[in-house]
């Protein structure tokens, strides 16, 4: 079964708001385990070379707070920019993972590139007609830049990277669940 990625990117000046929805042929536990497996993200997520949990704060049965560092690159067409980002992440187990960037290192572009980044995964358990588990994965992001990118480039770059990441998540979920699914860009 094909998992279509539906993506909407809106631009308001130097800020981009992105919404993406993907329905996966797997239970919520498998999807959750995939998106929160920070040690393994570099093995399947495009643009991430290294990811590590730096701190875990007071985990409970239903929530936890983490500080995560990711090293990688932002890609668009032939352009690639190395970056390191530190994220504060809040988990509401099997429900929501919300990240807010607290620091960026973008090399030459460090002082004038990204002003804000917030991302949020939300999961909703579903079932298909035969009762097999399915999970809706909804992702939203707010990206604010210090300098405006050229008019059409920003939205295209955000969409391209978001689709690539969600297709990678869908493939990894399929691999972990043993389902023969593939993801493809949707609307």
- Dihedral (C-alpha) 159, 160, 164, 165: value to the nearest 10 degrees? -50
Owning domain of residue 98:
2-185
Integer angstrom CA distances of residue 107 from 8, 45, 151 = 29, 22, 24
pLDDT at residue 78 is higher than 70: no
More confident site: 143 or 154: 143
d(CA 29, CA 93): 9
Q: What is the pLDDT of residue 155?
A: 82
Mean pLDDT for all residues in the chain:
86
**What's the CATH number where 149 sits?**
3.30.530.20
| Residue whose token pair is 């992001």 | 141
Integer angstrom CA distances of residue 63 from 71, 91, 98 = 25, 5, 11
More confident site: 187 or 180: 180
Q: What percentage of the chain reaches a pLDDT higher than 70? A: 83
d(CA 33, CA 26): 11
101-123: average pLDDT: 80
Give the tens place of pLDDT for each residue, 28-52. 999 999 999 999 999 999 989 999 9
pLDDT at residue 187 is higher than 60: no
d(CA 65, CA 73): 25
Give the tens place of pLDDT for each residue, 10-27. 998 889 999 999 999 999
48-57 vs 182-185, strand pairing mode: unpaired
More confident site: 116 or 181: 116
| Residue whose token pair is 């500080």 | 67
Query: How many residues are given for the chain?
Result: 187
Give the tens place of pLDDT for each residue, 119-138. 999 999 998 888 889 999 99
Q: How many domains does the chain have?
A: 1
Q: What is the pLDDT of residue 152?
A: 67
pTM: 0.86
| Residue whose token pair is 């999970």 | 135
Q: Give the single-character DSSP code of 93.
A: T
H or E stretch including 157?
A: helix 153-177
């Amino acid at each position: 079964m094909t998992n279509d990625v539906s993506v909407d990117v809106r631009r308001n000046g130097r800020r981009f708001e992105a919404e993406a929805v993907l329905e996966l042929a797997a239970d919520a536990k498998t999807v959750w385990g995939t998106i929160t497996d920070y040690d393994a993200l570099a093995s399947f997520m495009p643009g991430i070379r290294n990811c590590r949990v730096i701190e875990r704060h007071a985990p409970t049965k239903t929530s936890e707070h983490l500080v995560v560092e990711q090293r990688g690159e932002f890609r668009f067409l032939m352009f690639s920019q190395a970056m390191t980002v530190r994220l504060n992440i809040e988990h509401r187990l099997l429900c929501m993972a919300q990240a807010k960037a607290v620091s960026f290192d973008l090399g030459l572009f460090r002082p004038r590139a990204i002003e804000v980044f917030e991302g949020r995964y939300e999961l909703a358990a579903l079932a298909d007609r035969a009762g097999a588990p399915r999970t809706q994965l909804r992702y939203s992001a707010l990206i604010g830049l210090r300098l405006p990118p050229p008019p059409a480039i920003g939205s295209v770059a955000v969409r391209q990277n978001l689709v690539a990441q969600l297709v990678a998540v869908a493939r990894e979920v399929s691999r972990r669940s043993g389902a023969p699914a593939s993801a493809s860009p949707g609307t």
